[in-house]
Amino acid sequence: MTRKEEKRNLETIPVGSLGVIALKGCKTLGEKVDYYLVKWRAERESEHKDSLAFSGYQRDTYLLGVEIPRFGSGEAKGIIQESVRGDDLYIMVDVCNYSMTYCLCGHENHMSPDDHYQNLKRIIAAVGGKARRITVIMPFLYESRQHKRTARESLDCAIALQELVSMGVDNIITFDAHDARVQNAIPLHGFETVQPAYQFIKGLLRNVKGLIPDTDHMMVISPDEGGMSRAIYIANVLGLDIGMFYKRRDYTRIVNGRNPIVAHEFLGSSVEGKDMIIIDDMISSGESAIEVARALKARNANRIFICATFGLFTGGLERFDKAYEEGVISRVLTTNLIYQTPELLSREWYINCDMSKYIAYLIDTLNHDSSISDLLDPSEKIQNIVARYKEGDF
């Protein structure tokens, strides 16, 4: 931890004793976050750390024990195994972890996002309003793909946000929300959508040789019009040109809940001979990302790197294996904010971007009621890491 961060955190006393609850599907990420918090607070020197306001500041773990047992019928309840009275609670949940199972009338059921969301509500209900403050860290925002109404249909994400704040949640932290405007559903409560731009660039520079981040050798691509803000940010920070694809859809029919894409049309300058960074919020089936990569290759692009915050890979990994073998893609980067299969982690084309340290910074800073503005805009850190890469010091 740098001196700047130590000083920032020590200027204020904690809001309350820190408690982190990592729900079952988020246990691995929670343990990594806890490791950093324990390490930093053990090393941190403060003349006030023996005062009452810093009671319980240095501990062996900040993870609280919770259980969510189920009855034979599949119904469940949330149990917190220690006191949370007066605590500053951070509840971490991964609604995409389909590897979690439970027994329902003798059958094994895989947990859906709905099941994980219900478990989150059970733990909030178990707190019983006794915590000083509750912050929900939900990297993949529940129902965020159902964020707007185009017909007579439900607005699930907005309803979920309102439900959480009505239960006493003060802040919601998510990553790369599909549409950040959904926060308008809870305008009087804290809502932060965090971008992992720094982690993507660090992952690329650490794992790929021969990158030249300038306008003659690299370009940033948005695979659709909705993701332009992400691409614009990275392009501006790195000083690169930008290109965009827009999707021509068949609005006469619906396949798998959406209008099928007919073609990807490109807007932008020449990509010939340049390395491409395709940036998006998620890889679902991966069909669109690979089609965009093929379209860029047809325009004589050089290496293609796909960066997406959430790697769902709902259609399996074979599509990406084939694209890698054919030389269509060079690397795929996603974060560990959601469940990753062992098969994905073993792939040669995959780069895992660890977000645990970043989440620990957010929790540590918010517990001191300090500003997280510099954490939300990592442009300075990106410039430093690129400079080090150019000097061969990375």
pLDDT tens per residue, range 27-47: 999 999 999 999 988 887 765
Q: Are 243 and 221 in contact (CB under 8 A)?
A: yes
Share of the chain above pLDDT 90, in %: 64
How far apart CA 209 and CA 218 sit, in angstroms, is 13
* Residue 72 pLDDT class (50, 70, 90 cuts): confident
Tens of pLDDT along 285-308? 888 899 999 999 999 999 999 999
Looking at residue 272, its pLDDT comes to 92
Tens of pLDDT along 350-393? 999 999 999 999 999 999 988 888 888 888 899 999 888 888 77
* Residue 53 pLDDT class (50, 70, 90 cuts): low
Tens of pLDDT along 104-125? 888 889 999 999 999 999 999 9
Helix (H) or strand (E) holding 3: helix 3-10
Q: Work out the widest C-alpha separation in the chain, in whole angstroms.
A: 68
Tens of pLDDT along 197-217? 999 999 999 999 889 888 999
Q: Are 85 and 130 in contact (CB under 8 A)?
A: yes
Which residues have CB under 8 Å from 77's CB, separation 6+?
Answer: 68, 69, 122, 126
Which residues have CB under 8 Å from 350's CB, separation 6+?
Answer: 331, 332, 333, 334, 344
Tens of pLDDT along 238-284? 999 999 988 777 778 888 777 777 777 788 888 899 999 999 999 99
392: left (phi over 0), alpha (psi -120 to 50) or beta: left
* Residue 311 pLDDT class (50, 70, 90 cuts): very high
Average pLDDT over the chain, rounded to an integer: 89
How far apart CA 273 and CA 290 sit, in angstroms, is 19
pLDDT at 3 over 50: no
> Phi/psi of residue 120, each to 5°?
-60, -45
Beta strands in the chain (DSSP E): 17-22, 66-67, 79-80, 87-92, 101-104, 107-110, 133-137, 171-175, 190-194, 218-222, 241-249, 261-267, 275-283, 304-311, 331-335, 350-353
Q: How far is CA 182 from the centre of its chain?
A: 16
pTM recorded for the entire structure:
0.91
- Quickly list DSSP for 130-169: -SSEEEEE-SS-TTTTS-S-SSS---HHHHHHHHHHHTT-
Q: Are 175 and 337 in contact (CB under 8 A)?
A: yes
pLDDT at 159 over 70: yes
Looking at residue 49, its pLDDT comes to 64
Tens of pLDDT along 163-201? 999 999 999 999 999 888 999 999 999 999 999 999 999
- Quickly list DSSP for 279-299: EEEEESSSHHHHHHHHHHHHT
